[in-house]
Structure 1
Amino acid sequence: MNRKYILLCLMTAGCICAAGQQKVGWDEAYREADVKIAELTLDEKLHFMRGYSLFFFYGVPEKGIPYLYHSDATQGINIRRNLPDTTMVRQLERSTAFPCPLMLAATFNPDLTRRYATAVGEECRAGGVEVLLGPGVNITRNSQCGRNFEYFGEDPHLSSVMTAAYVRAIQSTGTAACLKHFICNGTEFYRRRSNSVVDERALHEIYLPPFKAGIDAGAAYVMTSYNQVNGEWAGQNSYLINELLRGELGFRGCVMSDWSSVYDTEKVVKNGVNTEMPGRKELLSEVKTLLAAGRITEEDINRMIRPSIATGIAFGLYERKKYLPEWLDKYPQHEQTAYDVAAEGIVLLKNNGILPLRTGRKILLTGRFLHEVPRTGDNPAASAAVKGYNNVTLAEAMYDMNGDALSIVEKPTSAQLAAADVVLVSAGTIDMESFERPFALPRQEEQLIRRAVEANPNTIVLVNSGSGVRMTSWNDKAAAVIYGWYPGQNGMKAIVDMLFGQLNPSGKLPMTIEREFKDSPAKNTMPAGAEFYHEAYRAYNENLISVYDVNYDESVWVGYRWYDSKAIRPLYPFGLGLSYTTFTLSRPQIQAEHHSAKIQVVLTNTGERKGSEVVQLYISEKNPAVPRPEKELKAFRKVELESGKKTSVEFELNRQDLAVWDVNSHGWKVNPGEYVIGIGTSSADIAYSLIWNIKEGEK
C-alpha cells in the first residue's frame, strides 16, 4: 500500500468522522436501499412502515436487514425490563446516570459534552443499542415544562453548540443519534392536544438552529413531536418534514414519529415520516384499504420506507457487531465523566461570603432529597428515567465531608435552626415527561426555607430541579443559593466538594429564572382555568381536553431576549454563575473585514485561587430595519486560569452571525449598518461594547 493511498484513506476517514461516523455516502446508501426494497414482499414493506415490539425498527434478517434497537435517552440509557419481546436484546445490567442535559448545558463546555456523549454511546454499544433517542434539542421557553431538563436551555446558539458536540461524539462510537422533538414541543400539559402557533421568523431564528446544528453534525435520525404546529400534527405535517427538515435543512436520514402521535394514515404515508412508532394496530389494514381504493400506491410505500433502510445502510447499523461487552470496563471512566459534568454544571447564584465552608462547623441539613439522588420521575413511560448505580446521596456526601459535626433533621424547630452554625436546606422538584409542574416549590418546602432564613442568616439553599423555580420570597435572605439541577449518580459528591471549596464553581445559567411566572412570555401556555395534574391516567387520556392553542406571541423574544425587551429584571439572568475567584476583562480589540471580524479580549484571574470563567459574546443591530432583540448570544468560551494569570480569548464572527430571517424573501438577510458586539460574563453583565460597520453592497 503506497503512501498516497494511505494518505487518501486517512483523509477519507477524517471526512467520515466529520459526518458523524457515516460509513456510506447518502447516494450510495439510497441505491443499496432500493435494491433491498426490491427484494421485499408487499407485506414486508407494510411492516417497515411501523415499529416492532415498541422499541425496534422492523427487520427481515434473512434479507440482510436486522431489527434495530432504540433506547432512551440523552442522559444515559433507560433500561426497560418490560419490553414485549426481551429475546431481541441482551439488556445491560446497569447504566450510568449522568447529570441531566440542562446541567450539561450549564457547563458551557463542548469538550465535556463530547466526553458525556461518548460515554453514553459506549454504553449503548455494550448493550446492543443501535439508536439512542436523543439528544433532545427543544428550546426552553416555559419554565413549567416538565421536560426542560432534557434540553440545552433557552438560547439557540448555546443549544446548537452542545447539540453538534453531542451528535458527533455519540456517533463516533457507532451509536446513531436521533434529534427530538421536531418542533416547538414546549409544553407537557396534554401534549397530544397542544397546537403551537408560531411565526416563520421565530421558527428559523429560535427553534430550528439546534436541529440544523445536529443535522450538519451528521445526525442519523430525527423524531417528530406530539404537538400540532400551526394546525397540523407535527408527525404528519408536510411543511415541517418535507419543506423545512428535508428541504431547508437538507436532512437525508430517517424521520420517525414520536410514540403514538400520528392519526391520518394517508398523510403519514405521503407527508414525509418514514416510520410510525411504535405503530397503530390499525395501520396495516388501513394501508391495504387505501391501496385498494387507489388513494396510495406501492411506490408511495417504497418512498416512505426508503430513508429508514438507507439510514441503516449509511451508518453501518446492519453490519456492525451487535455487542461490545468489553466496553463495560469503561464504567469507571463514565462515573468520572458524570462527576466532572456535575462539577462544572453547578451554578452558584448567590454567595454573601459564607462559601466555601470549612469542615467542623455545626451544619444542620434538612429538606428534600437527603437520602435519595434527585432525578426525574420514575414514571415507567418516561424516556429519561435512568437509575444509575453507586449512587451517592446528599446525606452520605455531607457526612463523609463533615462527619459528626453534621446533624440531619427532617422537621427542625426554629430553635434548632437558629442554633446551627450553618443551615443547608435542600429543595427542588421532580420533573418528568407528560407533566407540567408549578413554578412555585411545593408549599411545605417553601415554608421550610422561609422559616430557615428567618431563623438563621447563615442559611444556604440548594435547589435540585430541571428548570427554573420561584425563589422570590426567600432569595434575598439566603446566605447562598446553589442550583444543582439533577446532578446524576455522583453529582451530590460534586456539590458537597463545591460547598467545602474542594472545587471552584464555574457553571452558568442556560436559562433565565424569572421572579414570577407572570413575567414569562409562556405565562398563558396552559388554557385558562386549567389545573396541574399528577396522575398518569390524566396525562395519557387526551379525551379529557380539546385541542388548545399555545400562542408563541413573543416570536423571537424568548428567554433573556424577552426580559430585555420588556425591561423586566429577572431574579437571575441567563449566563450568570459565580466563582470563588474573580476575573476581569480588558477592553476588546476588533479586526473587521467585509465578511468577517476577529475579536480579541484578555481575561485575567484577579482572585486568589484557580477558576474558570465563561466569556460571552452578544450581538445586536444598532438601528434594525425590523425589530430585533437587544442582544443575542453568538459565541462563548470557557477558560480556566491559575490565580494571577491572564490569557487572550479570541472569537471570529461571520456575516451569518448578523443575519435576520426575512419573511418577505423567506431567507436570511444582513442589513447594512452598525452592529454592536458586547463582551461580558452574563446576559446582564456586558463589560465592553464594540461597533462593526457593514456597508451597503458588501457580500
Structure 2
Amino acid sequence: MPDEPTPSAHPGRPSTEGADTPRAPGAPDAADPAPVAAGAPGRGHARVRGGRGRLSRRAVLLALAGGGGAAATVALARGTAHAGPRAAPGASGSRADGLLARLTLDEKVGLLHGAPDPASLGQAGYVPGVPRLGIPPLRLADGPAGIRVRGTATALPAPVMLAAAFDPGLARAYGRVLGREGRALGQDVLLAPMVNLIRTPYAGRNFETFSEDPLLSADLVAELVRGVQAEGLVATVKHFALNNQERDRDSVDVRADDQTAHETELRGFEAAVAAGAGAVMAAYNKVGGVHAAESAALLTTVLRERWGFDGWVMSDWDAVHTTAGALTAGLDMEMPGGARYGAPLRDAVRAGRIPEAAVDRAVRRALAVRDRLGLLDQPPAARPARDAASGARLALRVATAGATLLRNEGAALPLTGPAARSIAVIGPTASVPFVSGGGSAHVVPDAAARPFDAIRARAGADATVAHAVGEDLFGRPLPPLVPAVDLDAVRVAAGATWSRTATLTTAEADEWTFLVHYSGTRPTVTLDGAELFPVRQGVAEFFAGGLLAAAPDGLAVRRVTLRLAAGDHTLAVTAPGGTDGQLFRLRAVSGADRAADVAEAVGHARVAAAVVLFAYEDATEGQDRTSLALPGNQRDLIEAVTAVNPRTTVVLNTSSAVTMEWLDRTAAVLQMYYPGQEGAAATTAVLFGDADPGGRLTQTFPAAEDRHPTAGDPRRYPGRDGIEEYSEGVHIGHRWYEKEGIAPLFPFGHGLSYASFAHEDLIAAPGEGGGVDVTFTVRNTGDRPGVDVPQIYLGASPDLAARGIDQPRSLLAGYRRLELAAGERRRVTVHLTARTLSSWSTAVGGFVLGTGRRALRVARSAADPGLRATVEVRSG
C-alpha cells in the first residue's frame, strides 16, 4: 500500500516554480502538490483584467472527473465520473439486473436490512448474502479514524487533525489506509467519512469531521472517498444532512433555507457524490419537519435528481420510523436490523401496499455499487494482508502535518539548549496516551507510546525529565471503611453476586469524584441510598469518551463528582459475576487529593527549565459538551504551574475549540487534537523542532462562551421546542465572526511555523473552466525549512447583492500547503472555480455566478488582512 498521497486529476491544479524542498519528518511530500479548490464550474465565466476564459465541454468533463472535492452544480450534476474500481459502462447495471431477476421476494428483502452476524468480527453491522446466487454478505465497520472491530487496528489521528493539514492529497492517502485495512480486517463497507460541518463548538462529534468551512470540507471528503474506494471498500458519507449536534439528535427538527443548506452543509455531500461515494447514511434528525431517513426532498430530489447519486442510501442505526415512507422517499437499506424493512416490508409487498418495483429499485442500487467495487466477483478477490507498519507511518505523517501551534511567545518552541535538557512533563495524558475520541469512532491500536516516554527518550540520557500527573483521572483506593473491606480489586466469580455495605467517614466537607472500574455488568453503587452511576439516556450509556471511559488496563470506567458533608456516609456495592465473572474496583479522588496533585506538579515545574503540560477534553458520540473550558481541575493546574514557570507549553488533546482564560500565562500552546497511535512521536517531533508544526485551524476558537455563532440564541442551538434554526444563514464559522465584527481567540486558518514567510507579487488571470487563477510568490524568510498555508479569501459580488442574494463578506476560495527550505521562494497559482465564485439563487433554483468587481486577499488566516487585489468577474 502506498505511503504517499496519490496524485489526483484536477482541473486548475496548482502549479509551482522552484527547486524541490526537503521534507520534515512525518510531513507530506512537497513533490506531490494537492488540489486546492473544490467545485465544478458554475454558470458563466470570469473576466479578469480584460482576459476571458470560456467554459468548454472539455473543462466541464475535467471538472466532473477531477479531485479536490469536485461538487457539481445543478446543471452538471449528472454523468459524474467516479474514482476507484468500476465495471465498464452498463456492466454493473446489467449484472445487478441479472441477479435481481433471480432473487425471490424474501431474498430481496433480506438484502435491504441488517441482521445478527453468525461470525461477527465486532463490526457495526451485517447484511446477509444469498449463497445460492453467489452474493456474499456485507460487513459494515465504523471507521472515521480507523477500523472499529473487536481486535486492534491502526488508530489514525481524528479527521479534524487530518483537516488541519489543509492537504487533500494527504486525505486520499488517509483514505487508502482505511480502505486497505478495512478489507484486510474482513470488512466491505466503511461507515465514514463524516462531512457534517462544525457549526457549534459544543457538538460532541466535531473531532470526527473536518471543518467549519464548506470548501475545505468538500475538498477533503472527496479525496478521502477516492482513497477508500480505490482499495475496494465502500465509503459511506454521513450524516445526510444538517446533523451538527448530538443533543436530541434523533428528534430535533432542523430548519434551513435552500441557500443556507446548499452553500454550507450540503456542499461536502455533493463533493462526495461527485467523487463516486458508494453509499450515503441518512441522519437521525428531522429536516423541515420530516426525519432525514424519510425525506424525499433530501434522498430523491437533492441526492439523486439534482446530484445524480447512483449508490445506495442506508439509515443511521435505528433511524427508520415507517416502512413505506422511508422506501418511497429513497431510503434503500435499514440498519442494523429489520424492524421496518424486514417482515413489515415483505408483508406490505405481498398485500399490495408497496409495489415490488420499489424493493427492486433499492436492491439494484446496492448490488450495482457492490459490483462496481468488485464485491460480487466470483471467485471473490483475496483480501489483502494488514500492513500495520504502513498504517503507522501514515498516522505519524498526519499527526505531524496537523499539529497546530497556536501561540509561541519568545520562541519558547522548539525546545533547545537548557529548555531541552531540564523538562517537567505534567498532565495525565502525558502518561496515558490520548488516542481517539469516544463512541463509534474509538479505535484500539496495536500499541500507543506514552508522550512522557517519547519526550524523555528524545531529550537524552543526560537530561532531567520528570513527570507529575497533575490531575488524577482514574482515582485512588478509598480511605479505610468500617467494617474494613478492600474495594480496589474485587473478583466476582461467574454466576455469583458480590455485596457489601460499609461506612465512609469524611473529616470535612469536600468535593469527591467516585469512580467504578469494571469488566462485566456495571456494579450498583449507592451512597447514602442514592445510586452513584445510574443508567444514562440513549447512547450516552454506551459512549462515554475515548480517554475517560476506560482505565489504562482496559476496564470500563464510570465517574461522578459530588460534594460530601463531613461525617459518616453509607456505601453499598452489589456486583454481578455474570457468565464469565468480572473484576471491579471502586476508587475516589477528594479535593485534598487534587490539591496534592497540583502541589506535586508545581514542585517539578519550579525546578525545571521548561514545562510541557498536557491538557485534555474528552468528547464522544451521544453527548454534546456542556462547556468550552477545559474540564476538571485543569484551569487551576495550569495557573499554578505557570505561576512558578512562565516557560510552560500547553499541549492540547481536545476535540474542538476550547476557551483559554489562562492563555496569557503560557509561553506556547500546541493543539494536537486526538492524534492517534503515533501521537507521542508526532508531539515530541514538533516540541523539539524535528518537524515544523504544519497544521492550521479548521475551526474558529471563540474568545468566550458567549462569543460564537450559536451563543445566546437557543433557537440556533440546541433548539427551542424541538426546532433548531440555522438563522445564521450562509455566515457559518469564520464568516460569522467577520460579519459581526467579533474578534475570536484564534481565527480559522491560524497556525504558526518555526520559519517565517512573505507573500508577494499578487496577480489574477483567467482560469480554466471559467474560474480565476490567483498567482503569487511565497518566500521563506527564516533560517530553517517550514510549512506555510496561504489562503485565498474572496469578497462578495456587488451584482448578487443588488439582486438581494445574501453573501459572506469573504469566503475561503482556495488554499495551498507549501514546504519551503530556508530562503526558498516559489511562484504559486491557485485556481478558484466558477462554482466558488457562485451563490445559490432561490429564484433560479441553482447557483449563479457572482459577477462584478470582487475583493481578493492572500492571507495567513481568516482574520489576516493579507495581500490584497480586486478581480472583475463577468458573465457571457
TM-score (norm 1): 0.89
Whole-Å Cα distance in 1 between the matches of residues 720 and 613 of structure 2?
41
Task: Give the distance between the partners of 2:96 and 2:633, measured in 1 at CA.
Answer: 59
Indicate if the aligned counterparts of 1:274 and 1:306 stay in contact, CA closer than 8 A.
no
Report if aligned partners of 2:315, 2:333 keep a CA contact under 8 Å in 1.
yes
Matched-pair contact (CA < 8 Å) for 1:126–1:323:
no
Deviation at 1:607, TM superposition (A): 0.2
Query: In structure 2, what is the Cα distance between the partners aligned to 1:653 and 1:143?
Result: 29
Q: What residue is the counterpart of 1:224 in the other structure?
A: 282
In the alignment, structure 1 residue 364 sits paired with structure 2 residue 424: yes
The reply on whether 1:265 has 2:323 as its aligned counterpart is yes
1:551 aligns with 2:610: no
Q: Structure 1: where are the runs of 5+ without partners?
A: 1-13, 81-92, 531-544
Provide the rounded CA distance (Å) in 2 between the counterparts of 1:15 and 1:589: 28
Q: CA deviation at 1:237?
A: 0.7
2: CA distance between counterparts of 1:525 and 1:308?
Answer: 42
Is 1:425 the counterpart of 2:425 in the alignment?
no
2:695 to 502, 507, 513: 507
Q: Does 1:572 align with 2:746?
A: yes
The answer to whether residue 655 in structure 2 is matched with residue 466 in structure 1 is yes
Post-superposition offset of 1:226: 1.1
Q: What is the aligned partner in structure 1 of residue 402 from structure 2? A: 345
- Which deviations, in whole Å up to 9, do the C-alpha atoms of 1:321-358 show, x marking residues without a partner? 76756532x32122111101111100000001111112
Aligned to 1:520: 708
Kept in 2, the 8 Å contact 1:125–1:324? The answer is: no
Q: Distance in 1 between matches of 2:95 and 2:381?
A: 25
What letter corresponds to residue 611 of structure 2 in structure 1? V
Q: CA deviation at 1:443?
A: 3.4
Superposed displacement of residue 627, structure 1: 2.7
8 Å CA contact retained: 1:465, 1:486 = yes
* SS of residue matched to 2:761: coil
| CA apart distance, 1:300 | 2.2
CA offsets, 1:232-275, max 9 Å, x none? 11111110000011111110101111110110111122110110
Deviation of the 1:178 alpha carbon: 1.0
Give the aligned residue type for 1:581: A
1:173 offset after TM fit, Å? 1.2
Paired position in structure 1 for 2:38: none
Residue aligning to 1:177:
235
Residue type at the aligned position of 2:348 = L
Give the counterpart letter for 1:393 in structure 2.
R
The answer to whether 1:334 aligns with 2:391 is: yes
Query: Do 2:427 and 2:614's aligned partners in 1 also have CA atoms closer than 8 Å?
Result: yes
Among candidates 576, 599, 606, match of residue 781 of structure 2: 606
Distance 1:376 1:493 in 2: 15
1:78 paired to 2:158? no
User: Residue 562 of structure 1 is aligned with which of 732, 736, 760?
Assistant: 736
Q: Secondary structure at the match of 1:369?
A: helix
Per the alignment, residue 675 of structure 1 pairs with 854
CA RMSD of aligned residues (A): 2.4
Per-residue Cα deviation, 1:508-564 (whole angstroms, up to 9, x for no partner):
00111111232222236878999xxxxxxxxxxxxxx99712211101111100100
Q: What secondary structure does 1:46 align onto? A: helix
Q: How far, CA to CA, are the matches of 1:376 and 1:487 in structure 2? A: 7
Q: Return 545-554 or 629-638, whichever deviates more.
A: 545-554
What amino acid is the match of 2:780?
N
Question: Does the alignment pair 1:240 with 2:419?
Answer: no
Q: Name the CA shift for 1:321/1:481 in 2 (closer, same or farther; >3 Å).
A: farther
Higher helix content, 1 or 2: 1
- Pairing partner for 2:631 from 442, 459, 464: 442
User: Post-superposition shift, 1:169?
Assistant: 1.4
Residue aligning to 2:56: none
Deviation at 1:133, TM superposition (A): 1.1
From the superposition, tell whether residues 64 and 324 of structure 1 become closer, same or farther in structure 2 (CA, over 3 Å). closer
Q: Trace 1:622-633 onto structure 2 (pairs within 5 A).
A: 623=798, 624-625=801-802, 626-633=805-812
1:409 aligns with 2:583: no
Question: Which residue in the other structure is 2:837 paired with?
Answer: 658
Residue 43 to residue 146, structure 1, CA distance change in 2 (3 Å): same
CA distance in 2, matches of 1:648, 1:233: 49
Q: Tell me the residue number matched to 2:518.
A: none
Cross-structure match for 1:538: none
**Mapping for residues 262-301 of structure 1, pairs under 5 Å:** 262-281=320-339, 283-291=341-349, 293-301=351-359
**Cα distance in structure 2, aligned partners of 1:102 and 1:16:** 23
Contact 1:254 1:311 in 2 (8 A): yes
Cα pair 2:437 2:619 within 8 Å, conserved? yes
State whether structure 2 residue 826 is matched by structure 1 residue 643.
Answer: no
Structure 1 or 2, whichever has the larger Rg, is 2
**Take 2:414 and 2:696, find their aligned partners in 1: how far apart are those partners?**
18
Q: CA deviation at 1:407?
A: 1.0
Structure 1 residue 672: deviation in Å? 3.0
Question: Which of 1 and 2 has higher RCO (CA within 8 Å, sep 6+)?
Answer: 2
User: Which of 145, 150, 154 matches 2:208?
Assistant: 150
2:85·2:230 contact (CA, 8 Å) conserved in 1?
A: no
TM superposition shift of 1:361: 3.2
**Deviation at residue 289 of structure 1 after TM alignment:** 4.6
Identity %: 32
| Aligned partner of residue 237 in structure 2, secondary structure | strand
Match of 2:766 in 1: 592
User: How many residues were matched structurally?
Assistant: 653
Aligned AA (1:674): R
Give the structure 1 partner of residue 790 of structure 2: 615
Query: Which amino acid in 2 is paired with 1:156?
Result: P
Confirm or deny: 8 A CA contact 2:436 2:676 kept in the other structure.
Answer: no
Distance 1:517 1:226 in 2: 27
Deviation at 1:135, TM superposition (A): 1.0
TM-score by length of 2: 0.72
Which residue identity does 1:363 align to in structure 2? I
Matches of 1:187 and 1:317, distance apart in 2: 34
**Cα deviations across residues 449-469 of structure 1 (Å, max 9, x unaligned)?**
122223321111111111111
C-alpha distance 350-277 of structure 1, shift in aligned 2 (>3 A): same
Mapped to 1, the partners of 2:835 and 2:653 lie a distance apart of 37
Extract structure 1 runs of 4+ deviating beyond 6 A: 14-18, 525-530
Q: CA deviation at 1:27?
A: 3.9
- After superposition, what is the alpha-carbon deviation per residue over 1:266-310, rounded to whole angstroms, capped at 9, x for unaligned? 112211011011134354332245335533122222223221122
Q: Label 1:676 to 1:16 Cα distance change in 2 as closer, same or farther (>3 A).
A: closer
CA distance in 2, matches of 1:124, 1:204: 32
Separation (CA, whole Å) in 1 of partners of 2:210 and 2:717: 30
The amino acid of 1:137's aligned partner reads: V
Aligned to 1:536: none
Q: Distance in 1 between matches of 2:147 and 2:382?
A: 15
Name the CA distance, whole Å, in 2 between partners of 1:582 and 1:588: 18
